[in-house]
Chains A and B, each alone.
Chain A
Amino acid sequence: MKLAIVDYGAGNIYSLEKALWHIGVETVVTSERRVLEGCSGIVLPGVAAFNDAALRIRDHDLSEVLRRQVKEGKLLLGICLGMQLFFEESEEGGCVPRTEGLGLLKGKVVRLPEGLKVPHMGWNTLEITKQGRALKGIGSGSFSYFVHSYYASAAETDCISATTDYGVQIPAVLEKDNVVGMQFHPEKSGETGMQILKNIKEMLK
């Protein structure tokens, strides 16, 4: 059972690897199609900028690979920015034309509103809206660690398993079949985060 962590070529994925090793999940960091296809699940990690990550995915022709793997039923986990890549587009980076996301979920990624401290950084509470598989054993009011400046707006509401309140309601966990996204960092969220990663491990089977 091996989890592939998609390599955008930059960013800090070491904490994520360490957390996954801690619960006995083997990892490989890769941007190669064959390696991705050979793993039991794929993670889009939560570091780097949207455009850089989206371009990297395009340059390595990974969009199609990822969409096909999802279609075939493989678990795809997106953390923070990784989750934002599930959507159609993002305001981040301000490129024209805007860099496209994977389009696995409908909606777009927008900047947190004016007047709020950005990034939204620190421990915030989850409001569970739907008891999905990723949140088994996690109750409303559990804290998880967020660090982000953009969030998924106009998401398909029936995919939202949990939200968090930061002046705006931010989708915190999204689940659509074998696609799971988290706006927070489970690898940095103490016991709550480790429980969520264990739930993900269960889903790999």
Chain B
Amino acid sequence: MLSKRIIPCLDVKDGRVVKGISFLGLVDAGDPVEMAGRYNREGADELVFLDITASSEGRKAMAEVVRRTAAEVFIPLTVGGGIAGLEDIDRLLHAGADKVSLNTAAVLEPALIGAAARKYGCQCIVAAVDAKRKADRNGWEVYIYGGKKPVGLDAVDWCKQVEQLGAGEILLTSIDCDGKKEGYDLELTAKVAESVGIPVIASGGAGTSADFYHVFQKGKADAALAASLFHYGKLEIRELKRYLQTSGIAVRL
């Protein structure tokens, strides 16, 4: 039976893992390759590196991080953040990434999804969608540039569209829930998961083991992503998976 996936996400800047600390901003949190190895040993099903570097120098560092990780860790590795075109995708896949996630670039140039899927296969292309509930509470709107700019697209419609364009998977982040640790947006996740025929990774809001249970059960997600929860050692992946297994969710243990 296909298991539900638990995916830790690492924010990487200039080739180093960073984490945000209140009042201090971003602080160095270690070597991404080491952390990837640790998550792999703890039972992570996949890994996501999110490149939050702004400079092109830093982007080269990302490819190097991917190269070193892919030589040691043999589970699927997705890289996202700032990917603008086929050249970026090519560089990351060459370095050993298995998938790339496209966010802002996919909204600005939807044809990129199709072009990338034809060149590398749908399985390589993850559409990352950042969604925020509309002010009138009637559905969700897509945001780009790291959740800063609304683009007037309905999130569920956009998810259906990225599937048509050739994306193999959707990484769906709730801007409303992100960082609050009060649980995933179950309504948004379920709505998208029921509207598309490709797998959906839920992201944003995980605070407890029960949140994962709910996003699989009520949110109908195929995978759940979390960053800080695993990062700060608040929840250990294997422990989480044992909890999910006893709750009747199929996981890889």
Contacts and interface: CB of A to CB of B under 8 A. Distances in A.
A120 B168 CA distance: 10
Contacts of B5: 122-123
Contact of A119 (B77, B95, B198): B198
A84 to B, nearest CB: 13
B57 to A, nearest CB: 23
A22 interface: yes
A14 B3 contact: no
Nearest to A193: B74
A122 B121 contact: no
Contacts of A117: 197-199, 222
A165 interface: yes
A120 B74 contact: no
Given A143-B252, A166-B2, A15 B70 contact: yes
Given A12-B93, A117-B222, A49 B98 contact: no
B71 A18 contact: yes
Nearest to A191: B74
Interface stretch (A26-34, A61-69, A182-190): A182-190
A19 interface: yes
B79 to A, nearest CB: 12
Interface in B44-94: 45, 70-72, 74-77, 93-94
Contacts, number: 92
Interface in B75-131: 75-77, 93-96, 98, 118-124
B98 A12 contact: yes
A166 B2 CA distance: 7
Contacts of A35: none
Given A117-B197, A119-B198, A123-B252, A188 B45 contact: no
A187 B169 CA distance: 20
B74 A190 contact: yes
B202 to A, nearest CB: 14
* Residue picked from B2, B3, B45, B72, most chain A C-beta under 10 Å: B2
A78 B93 CA distance: 21
Interface string B142-157: 0000000000000000
Contacts of B93: 12, 14
Given A12-B98, A123-B5, A190 B40 contact: yes
A188 B222 contact: no
B75 A190 contact: yes
B120 A47 contact: yes
Contacts of B98: 12, 15, 188
A124 B123 contact: no
A118 interface: yes
Nearest to B223: A122
B11 to A, nearest CB: 23
A109 to B, nearest CB: 15
A203 interface: no
A188 B199 contact: no
Nearest to A197: B74
Contacts of A145: 75-76
A11 B121 contact: yes
A189 B76 CA distance: 8
A194 interface: yes
B73 to A, nearest CB: 9
Interface of A: 10-12, 14-15, 18-19, 21-22, 47-49, 117-125, 143, 145-149, 165-166, 187-190, 193-194
26 contacts: A10-B119, A11-B121, A12-B120, A12-B124, A14-B70, A14-B95, A18-B71, A19-B74, A22-B71, A47-B123, A117-B197, A118-B198, A119-B198, A119-B199, A121-B123, A121-B222, A122-B2, A122-B3, A122-B45, A122-B199, A123-B2, A123-B5, A123-B252, A125-B3, A189-B74, A194-B74
Given A119-B123, A166-B2, 7 more contacts: A10-B119, A10-B120, A12-B120, A12-B124, A22-B74, A123-B3, A145-B75
